[in-house]
């Protein structure tokens, strides 16, 4: 008995040391990126097992590609393009993913009294930022009548969508990337990953804490230029930024960019940049666009009314503002 116990102990020690040795050798960061959803999608994760890590990255990129094919309004073969063609004529039964995203989008439309409105596309479809083209005044006046989230009838039980205005068009560009990032994180979690960063353009979500690769955001000193009052570590959060400098051109001295004010059908001058932090990327994405359109005062009021949501706003004059909870955290 004594002899066997001794042998067992040696075996245990040996196998433990092998385990630690191999994990120290192989546990590492894996990363990949791909152009999807009109931007750069990147995945960075920590995994003990390289096969698990690399498979998880493939699964994430496949999923984002699937969502891109489904939700890209410019691709005539997409489900979203089909909705835009048919939902003004009759109810269209669609995918659970589109139902989920549209439902959340309508939630933010109601919350912002229409500052966030996926039917901005009724006018938005006539802008071509790369070519520097904007619709003329009469075109805007005419198609602006079709910007109306209340005319979007979504039935979540039957998964059907219907537009009460035949000319209404939708575009999920202000929310779909956040949704895709959340899907990516769910996939990673199911694969057992506990530390990762997924980004789709300006929408990022951090899973776990990132150890040596940790990300922080700095709260600028209000009086001393280039100085930060505090650096807040980002862990287990999503952060999205909407800016007027991403997709724009200058026409007659006016900055024409990709965030439209549904009231005017023109680019919103409410802010220069808005970053929003929240647990889920679908919310930070929608809220950064929403806050941008609402502008400083109404935008801050909305963010401050939501618990667990923070914002950093650079107003139209370039001045920095923080939401209340963020200011508390920096004390
Ligand atoms: P980005 O797409 O550059 O990450 P945003 O998250 O701010 O930036 O989203 C901007 C996108 O949101 C636009 O390209 C457009 O597809 C969509 N969008 C523009 N204006 C609105 C609006 N008022 N409501 C909802 N979506 C909008
Ligand atoms: Mg957004």
The CATH number linked to 307 is: 3.10.520.10
| Cβ-based neighbour number of residue 299 at 10 Å | 27
Smallest-distance ligand from the CA of 169? 1
- Banded model confidence at residue 15, pLDDT cuts 50, 70, 90: very low
In a domain, 93, yes or no: no
Give the max Cα distance, the chain. 94
C-alpha torsion sign, points 262, 263, 267, 271: negative
**Residue 307 falls inside a structural domain:** yes
- Rounded to 10 degrees, the C-alpha dihedral 315/321/322/328 comes to -170
pLDDT of residue 3: 40
- The confidence band for 225, taking pLDDT boundaries of 50, 70 and 90, is confident
Strand partners, 228: 220
Is residue 149 within 8 Å of residue 108, measured between CB atoms? no
| Domain assignment of residue 113, yes or no | no
- The residue with greater pLDDT, 123 or 231, is 123
Indicate the number of domains in the chain: 1
From the alpha carbon of 201, which atom of ligand 1 is closest?
Answer: 4
Please say if the pLDDT value at position 281 is more than 80: yes
Pocket of ligand 1 (CB under 6 A): 116-118, 120, 171, 173-174, 177, 201-202, 242, 246, 258-260, 262, 285, 288-289, 293
Query: Domain for residue 57, yes or no?
Result: yes
The predicted structure's pLDDT at residue 208: 95
- Asked, for residue 319, whether it belongs to a domain, the answer is yes
Residue 216 lies in a domain: yes
Please check the confidence at residue 211 and state whether its pLDDT lies above 50. yes
Domain of residue 308 covers 18-69+196-330
Q: How far is the C-alpha of 191 from the C-alpha of 228, rounded, in Å? A: 38
CA dihedral over 170, 175, 181, 182, signed as positive or negative: negative
Q: Is residue 242 part of a domain?
A: yes
């Amino acid at each position: 008995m004594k002899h066997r116990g001794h042998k067992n102990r040696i075996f245990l020690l040996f196998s433990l040391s092998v385990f630690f040795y191999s994990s120290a050798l192989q546990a590492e960061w894996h990363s990949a990126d791909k152009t999807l959803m009109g931007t750069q999608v990147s995945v960075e994760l920590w995994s003990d097992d390289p096969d698990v890590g690399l498979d998880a990255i493939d699964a994430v990129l496949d999923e984002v590609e699937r969502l891109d094919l489904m939700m890209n309004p410019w691709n005539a073969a997409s489900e979203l393009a089909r909705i835009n063609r048919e939902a003004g004529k009759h109810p269209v039964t669609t995918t659970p993913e589109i139902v989920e995203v549209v439902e959340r989008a309508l939630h933010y439309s109601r919350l912002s009294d229409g500052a966030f409105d996926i039917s901005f596309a009724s006018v938005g479809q006539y802008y071509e930022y790369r070519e520097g083209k904007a619709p003329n005044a009469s075109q805007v006046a005419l198609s602006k009548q079709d910007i109306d989230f209340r005319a979007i009838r979504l039935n979540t039980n039957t998964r059907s969508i219907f537009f009460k205005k035949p000319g209404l068009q939708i575009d999920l560009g202000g929310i779909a990337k956040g949704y895709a990032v959340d899907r990516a994180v769910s996939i990673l979690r199911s694969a057992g990953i506990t530390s990762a960063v997924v980004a789709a353009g300006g929408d990022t979500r951090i899973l776990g804490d990132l150890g040596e690769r940790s990300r922080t955001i700095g709260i600028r000193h209000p009086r001393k230029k280039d100085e930060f009052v505090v650096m807040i570590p980002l862990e287990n959060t999503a952060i999205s930024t909407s800016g007027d400098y991403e997709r724009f051109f200058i026409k007659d001295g006016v900055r024409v960019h990709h965030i439209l004010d549904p009231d005017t059908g023109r680019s919103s001058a409410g802010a220069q940049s808005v970053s929003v932090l929240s647990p889920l990327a679908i919310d930070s994405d929608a809220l950064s666009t929403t806050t941008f359109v609402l502008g400083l005062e109404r935008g801050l009021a909305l963010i401050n009314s939501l618990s667990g949501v923070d914002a950093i706003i650079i107003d139209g004059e370039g001045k920095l503002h923080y939401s209340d909870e963020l200011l508390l955290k920096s004390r």
